[in-house]
Structure formats: structure tokens, C-alpha cells
Amino acid sequence: MSQQAPDIDGATENLTLVQAVRDGLQSEMRDDEDVLVMGEDVGKNGGVFRATDGLYEEFGEDRVIDTPLAEAGIVGTAIGMAAYGLKPVPEIQFLGFIYPAFDQIVSHAARLRTRSRGRFTAQMVIRAPYGGGIRAPEHHSESTEAMFAHQPGLKVQIPSTPYDAKGMLIAAIRDPDPVVFLEPKLIYRAFREEVPDESYEVPLGEAAVRREGSDISVFTWGAMTRPTMEAAEELAEEDGIDAEVVDLRSMSPLDKDTIVESFKKTGRAAVVHEAPKSGGLGGEIATIIQEEALMYQEAPVERITGFDTPFPLYALEDYYLPEPARIKKGIRDAVSF
């Protein structure tokens, strides 16, 4: 468990989350010539979200590779490169476009280590912007982290701050296992944070307590971290409810220790995620609490989530995504149970 971004020595730059992603890629590509980037429009164009801006100019077409429009080919080719010992970082333009590559991820990347008795691993990071709030429906906005977290052999990571984005991405690139690295595009440019110029790792697999509290544990991640923090601050002021906010960061493996430790302290929990409720990670977190800390439990676990529908367009999006008012209601329900 760690707190907010640690004290930073040395030079920093005030970066947005997407700039920090770019900074992390650049840093690792400078340090390790086996690291390379590939995907649709990542080269000359610098990526549709500018996450690879300037990398083509610095590293050239052999390490910043524009690919044909075929996700199975992007990820599948990267798997073969990783099997050989390169460290590809394929980009999927939007997470919802990943389905043609799902077979490659599940059938090859996630199983290479098992299939080869640990002698091959697919050391690769599949980056994809995900999540809603940008006024685009269906594939351009959905959150399917649970589909990947369900797959043994994958690690699924979601940063919610620029500092974490750079440090977690570097740690992911160095990790020997395949990592699905999901970037909350709603907050790609929502705020800035001081990010060290130098290379650093934020350890994978560890949740971060963003706000300490004693009345209820609220588990969230990605773009939902900010409205959850907002809700927690308002509840403290309006109702005197002291909520602990835990940014899980790692969807797989889940940081069970931090989840259970926080829950034992508060005895109540809510989970906030923008993915649909059924089969979402909220259910997994609630079950971990039941298994590990049943006797501490004082209320049902509230799930404040997206709906069990395809991701909607425009006006309906505002209902679909959890926002502070809905989050506050869920937390009040759990606390007043």
C-alpha cells in the first residue's frame, strides 16, 4: 500500500496523464533498444491521442512501427517479437477495438509462459485508452477490464495520475509477463502533475490509498477516482462521513492485502467502476471481503457502476457514468444501513 505520489527529488515537469505516458515510453526506449512501439497511426502521426508524439522522429520507423489496420495482427505480431526477446508495446487505438486481438491475447500471450514451462514469456505491454465521458458511443468508450482480469497469465493495470502513468508504464515494460495497460482517456488531459524527468518505477500490483478515512472503504480506479474523491470530500463536509478512497491501480493481480486491511478498519465498502455491474470487478472485490473479513462486515457492499447496456451516446452517457451525486448516494446507503 502506498500513499499519494511520494516526495520527488530532482527535476520534474508538469505533465498531463497522456504526456506522462509518452514520457514513460520515451524513457524506456532510450534505456533499452529492445523496447519498441507499434500500432495504428502511432508513427508519423504520433498516435490519435498523441501518446507517441515525437517518438517516430527520435527513434525511427524500425522502433515506432505503423501497422496495417488489424488488431489481431498488431498484437499477434508483437507476441512473436516478444517470444524472440524483443519488448514490444503495441497500442490498440481504443480498448473497444481490441476484440479481433482477444484471441491472440488469451490464446497466445497469456499462455506462453505456461505453455513453455516458463522458458518463453510474452514480455509486452498492450496499451489502450479506455472508458467513457468523451461523447462517443460503444467501442470508443467502454471499460472491459474485467474480461482481461479474468484471464490467468495477464496483468491488468490502470493508472489514474500522471505520476503513476509514467512509473507504472515503465514497471510494466520491465515486467516479464504480458501487461494490459489501460489508460483512462477521459482524464488524459484533465489535470497536470509534477512528474520526474528521470526514469522510475511505480510497483505493479499495489493499490494506493488516496484518502484515509474511518467510516467506509470506497474502492475505485481510473477516471472514477476523481469523482469518487470529490464525493468523499463533499460527504465529509455535508454528512460528516469519513470515507477512505482506495485507488486499486492493479485489476490483476488485485491487491487483496490493501482491500482487506482497509475494510477491517471501516467495516463498510462501496465499489465505483464505470464498467457494467454484472460480472464487473465490484463483484470480485465484494467476494474477497466476504472471504477474508466477513465478521467485520456491517453492511452490504454497494456497487456504483455503469449499466448492463452497450455504452450509450451523448445525453445518456451522463446517466451511465457514476458521478459525485450517485456515488454519494451509494456511500450514504452503505453507511446508514
Tell me if 145 contacts another protein by CB under 8 A: no
Report the site for another protein in 194-253 (rule: CB under 8 A): 203-206, 253
Using CA atoms, how far apart are residues 278 and 227, in angstroms rounded to an integer?
22
Q: What is the DSSP letter of 224?
A: G
Stretch of 60-68, 156-164, 308-316, 319-327 contacting another protein, by CB under 8 A: 60-68
Residue pair 258/209 in contact by the 8 Å Cβ criterion: yes
Tell me if 257 contacts another protein by CB under 8 A: yes
Placement of cell 472491459 in the chain? 144
Give the side-chain half-sphere CA count within 13 A for 117: 0
139 counts as catalytic? no
> Minimum distance between the CB of residue 59 and another protein, rounded to whole angstroms?
13
Tell me if 177 contacts another protein by CB under 8 A: yes
> Minimum distance between the CB of residue 257 and another protein, rounded to whole angstroms?
7
Count of CB atoms situated within 10 Å of the CB of 182: 25
Tell me if 287 contacts another protein by CB under 8 A: no
3-class secondary structure, 229: helix
Tell me if 116 contacts another protein by CB under 8 A: yes
Count of CB atoms situated within 10 Å of the CB of 241: 22
Task: From 236, 247, 57, select the one nearest 159 (Cα to Cα).
Answer: 247
Q: Which is nearer to another protein, 120 or 200 (CB)?
A: 120
State the sign of the Cα–Cα–Cα–Cα dihedral 292, 263, 164, 280: positive
Count of CB atoms situated within 10 Å of the CB of 8: 14
Q: Which is nearer to another protein, 103 or 298 (CB)?
A: 103
Using CA atoms, how far apart are residues 95 and 75, in angstroms rounded to an integer?
13
Q: What is the DSSP letter of 178?
A: -
Q: How many residues bind another protein (CB under 8 A)?
A: 49
Tell me if 119 contacts another protein by CB under 8 A: yes
- In this chain, which of 104, 141, 157, 220 binds another protein, going by CB under 8 A? 104
**Using CB under 8 A as the criterion, what x/- string covers residues 10-49 for binding another protein?**
----------------------------------------
Tell me if 82 contacts another protein by CB under 8 A: yes
Catalytic residues: 140
Q: Which positions lie near another protein, rule CB under 8 A?
A: 62, 67-68, 70, 72-73, 75-86, 88, 100, 103-104, 107-108, 111-121, 152-153, 155, 175-177, 203-206, 253, 255-257
